[in-house]
Structure 1
Amino acid sequence: MPPKRSASDANGSGKKSTASKSNAKAAAKKSSRRILVTAGEGQTGRLIIDLLATDDDYTSKYDELTALVFSEEAMSILEEYESVKVILYDPKDDEMLVKSMELVDTCLLIPPARKDKAKITRQLLEAAKKAKTVQNLVLLSSAGADYAERDKQPRLREFIDLEVLAMQPKGDPSTGDTGHSPCIIRAGFYAENLLLYTKQAQGEGKLPIPIGENHKFAPVALGDVAQIAAHAITSEGPHGLADDVRGQILVVTGPQLVAGAELAEAASQALGAKMQFEPITEAAAKKILNSSQGAEVDEAEREYLLEYYSLVREGKTNYTATAAMLAYFGERGQEMSEFFKTYSEEFKPKKRRMTRTKASGGAATRSRG
């Protein structure tokens, strides 16, 4: 996905937790919880870490915070957080992974946005099972994965396989405390993925998306997903995670089901400039993703996005899921109009200057960007 803003910007509506009484008690004094977040350098992981390290709603709800990253460059990115310990993933060092898991009791497992994410996630889950200490295990999965077909949407469907692996320790006494208190968060289509089309938005006033005129989906702000994840891993109950989190599959989408034209209308109102929806083919969408516009997006993530759009075209995204947002924060989440206001500088069409040129037969105009 494209670069995101800070936690406060991405969150948009400035939510404050109004969760269970157990969380209020936990906030009264410093928690002893030790949390590991993987992958710490991804856009989702970084935003969650930012929330945990800087937001007063969360800083007292854990004792130690560790981020597992997949490159030395990522280690330097997270150095700004003095309270966050950063460890570098080594695929050949299973012993290091097990020792890292032994030092924590809570793990937020975010599959990295790369082709081998399933293999890596399996390795991390195996390390957690061997450590026998990771009581609270939260997996970030994908909404729509349960509707995906293995032969048509394999990148989406593999999240179901990972969910199965994450739930297995619950019924396996040989894994000790690991997985005793599980939770799965299925996040919907991130609204921030629309930032991939800012070139067309600014230059042509269009949102080119590979869905038809009547296909609908409910994009969710990354900040809302981060808030749900931060709440989940810091919640406390008699058996680990709070009872309103433990054993739950939390589906998180945006609050508004929109077709392409409705999305463009929300953008037009927020930006104060006309924005149009342009239905494009999957081939055209693939061309955009493979251009410089999608340069920062991993190949596996591009495949995931195209598969999600295919779910939209099949009518498998015609729902909203805001129960978790309402239960934990008392609101449905960020509306699309609020999203476009947050990113107005990126989407707002640029004014084109006009110069006069002489031509045979009279004057003509020529635009210059």
Structure 2
Amino acid sequence: MAPKRNAKGEPKGAAENGESKNGVAAQNGGNDLPERNILITAAEGQTGRLVLELLLTDETYASKFTSLTALVFSEDAKSTLDDFMQTEDIAGLKEILVFDPDDEETLVEAMKNIDTCLLIPPARKDKAKITRTLLEASKKAKTVRNLVFLSSVGCDYAERDKQPRLREFIDLEALAMQPKGLTETELTGHSPCVVRAGFYAENLLLYTKQAQGEGKLPIPIGKDHKFSPIPLGDVAQLCAHILTSYGQHGLGEDVRGQVIIATGSAMYAGEELAEAASQALGTKMEFASISEAEAKKILASDQGEEVDEAEKEYLLEYYSLVREGKTNYTANIAFEHIFGTKGQEIVDFFKVYSAEFKPKKRRITKSGGSKAKKHAQD
């Protein structure tokens, strides 16, 4: 489900700076900065699209790069991104590349025009293979100095036999950092940064059917263990800052060579999450501790039809980490240090999506009867 706020945390439709929309800082906004040509992979996904939107519409970032290219994984994905750009009235994207695993030459040639890459592994079963292919192409291009890899919080606590989808991020992180020590790849990966993003708060939108119909949030995390959801827009802000940061060796010195762990600003048990929702919605919301089997049923229903099977496996594995007590921490120090704020609070997240979560009122028949089962539309 697409977020209803833009990458700056504002409601959709909030005014943007008009000058930033049309020019991708062709003259670096008058700033005396080195040329920077950015590539974002998996740009059809929610994270990629929000980072694109932020870079192209916020003058804070738009004045700090020369060109912006998107890479998607199918022609359908290209159409989806094209539609998104037109719908949101966003201009300035240099090119949308379609990934072809059998055409390495074209991919390498495209990489030669890139010096900075946000490598987002796609939410699909072959993401490890695709990530390896992209990293190999960047090595052969020898130009991608600044490599920002989007990983996942919890991957270091995941066990290979119990949470393989999570654990594979550790292997991919190692591949992303490897080029820095290889002289034959020249500039590739000389200035790396790994961002381990936490559980996206937007994943809670999978349970809006139960929230609206029953006033419940059914999550398989047990009653006592906690986790720290982070709004997607905060992750996009962090990535945009890193991609447009400047230092002596590439990325800014505050992020270069860092493994940045990004969670929300507070930990929540299930009931605390429901309390935050109740506060935001102005109506009672309850937490329902469900089993993993019940969670699988929800994901297998029409509620999870837009979620890739690999992403479903990832979500279930993350919930298992929560139940094992391995997510009882927060880590938003980097975000607060950079932006001077803790980011969007979970109460505000529920306010943004209040129409999706708020229970629908029952229709009242003309006779005042209470047997009507249909719900009124908000």
Q: Same fold (TM over 0.5)?
A: yes
Q: What is the identity, as a one-letter code, of the residue corresponding to 2:37?
A: R
Which residue of structure 2 lines up, in the alignment, with residue 83 of structure 1?
Answer: 92
Q: Corresponding residue for 2:213?
A: 203
Whether 1:285 aligns to 2:298 is: no
Amino acid at match of 2:290: I
SS in 1 for 2:59: coil
Asked if 1 retains the 8 angstrom alpha-carbon contact of 2:72 and 2:98, the reply is: yes
Alpha carbons of 1:40 and 1:366: their partners in 2 closer, same or farther (altered >3 Å)?
Answer: closer
> Which of 327, 331, 342 is residue 321 of structure 1 equivalent to?
331
1:175 maps to: 185
Identity rate, percent: 65
Q: Is the 8 A contact 2:7 2:51 kept in 1?
A: no
* C-alpha distance 93-6 of structure 1, shift in aligned 2 (>3 A): farther
> In structure 2, do the counterparts of structure 1 residues 255 and 27 end up closer, same or farther at CA, with 3 Å as the change threshold?
farther
Report the 3-state secondary structure (helix = DSSP H, G, I; strand = E; otherwise coil) of the residue aligned with 1:284.
helix
Contact 1:11 1:223 in 2 (8 A): no
Match status 1:335 vs 2:345: yes
Verify the 8 A CA contact 1:30 1:62 in the aligned structure 2.
no
* Structure 1 residue 284 displacement after superposition: 0.3
Alpha carbons of structure 1 residues 263 and 165: separation in structure 2 relative to 1, 3 Å? same
- Supply the AA of the counterpart residue of 1:200: Q
Report if aligned partners of 1:357, 1:366 keep a CA contact under 8 Å in 2. no
Q: Look up the match of 1:42.
A: 45
SS of aligned partner of 2:40 = strand
Residue correspondence of structure 1 range 49-128 to structure 2 within 5 A:
49-79=52-82, 80=85, 81-84=90-93, 85-128=95-138
SS in 2 for 1:258: coil
**1:28: Cα distance to partner?**
5.6
Aligned partner of 2:167 in structure 1 is: 157
What is aligned with 1:229?
Answer: 239
Alpha-carbon distance in 2 for matches of 1:166, 1:51: 24
Q: What is the aligned length?
A: 352
Distance in structure 2 (CA, Å) of the matches to 1:140 and 1:348: 32
What is the distance in 2 between the residues matched to 1:251 and 1:236? Answer: 20
Counterpart residue type for residue 180 of structure 2: K
Contact 1:4 1:10 (C-alpha < 8 Å) held by counterparts: no
Offset, 1:332: 1.1
Q: Distance in 2 between matches of 1:105 and 1:295?
A: 37
Contact 1:354/1:368 (<8 A) preserved: no
Work out the CA distance in 2 between the residues paired with 1:207 and 1:256.
Answer: 18
Match of 1:368 among 358, 371, 374: 374
- Give RMSD over aligned pairs: 1.8
8 Å CA contact retained: 2:228, 2:268:
yes
Who is 1:218 aligned against? 228
Which residue identity is paired with 2:80? Answer: I
Matched position secondary structure for 2:61: coil
Distance 1:160 1:356 in 2: 61
Aligned partners of 1:356 and 1:366 also within 8 Å: no
- Kindly indicate whether the alpha-carbon contact (under 8 Å) linking 1:220 and 1:254 is maintained by their aligned counterparts in 2: yes
Shift of 1:364: 7.4
Superposed CA deviations along residues 118-141 of structure 1, whole A, max 9, x for unmatched, are 000000000001111000000000
Q: Structure 1: which 5+ residue stretches go unaligned?
A: 15-25
Q: By percentage of residues, which structure has more strand?
A: 1
TM-score by length of 1: 0.92
The CA deviation at 1:55 is: 1.0
**CA shift digits 1:309-353 (9 cap, x unpaired):** 000000000000011111110011111101000111111110012
- 1:72 is displaced (CA, Å) by 1.6
Instruction: Note the C-alpha offset of 1:56.
Output: 1.1
Task: Quote the residue 1:17 is aligned against.
Answer: none
Work out the CA distance in 2 between the residues paired with 1:307 and 1:135: 33
1:136 to 143, 146, 152: 146
Contact 2:8 2:54 (8 Å CA) reproduced: no
Q: 1:237 to 1:11 in 2, by over 3 A?
A: farther
Alignment check: 8 A CA contact 2:69 2:96 kept: yes
The C-alpha deviation readout for 1:59-107, integer Å capped at 9, x for no partner, is 1110010000112222233333431111111110011111111111000
Q: Give yes or no for contact 2:5–2:352 (8 Å, CA) kept in 1.
A: no
For residue 298 of structure 1, the aligned residue among 265, 287, 308 is 308
Higher relative contact order (CA 8 A, sep 6+): 1
Secondary structure in structure 2 of the residue aligned to 1:134: coil
How has the CA–CA distance of structure 1 residues 352 and 214 changed in structure 2, closer, same or farther, with 3 Å as cutoff? same
AA aligned opposite 1:61: K
Could you tell me how far apart the structure 1 residues matched to 2:100 and 2:183 are? 28
Q: Report if the CA contact (8 A) 2:196-2:261 is conserved.
A: yes
- Determine the C-alpha separation between the residues in 1 that align with 2:370 and 2:213: 21
Secondary structure, in 3 states, of the residue corresponding to 1:353?
A: coil
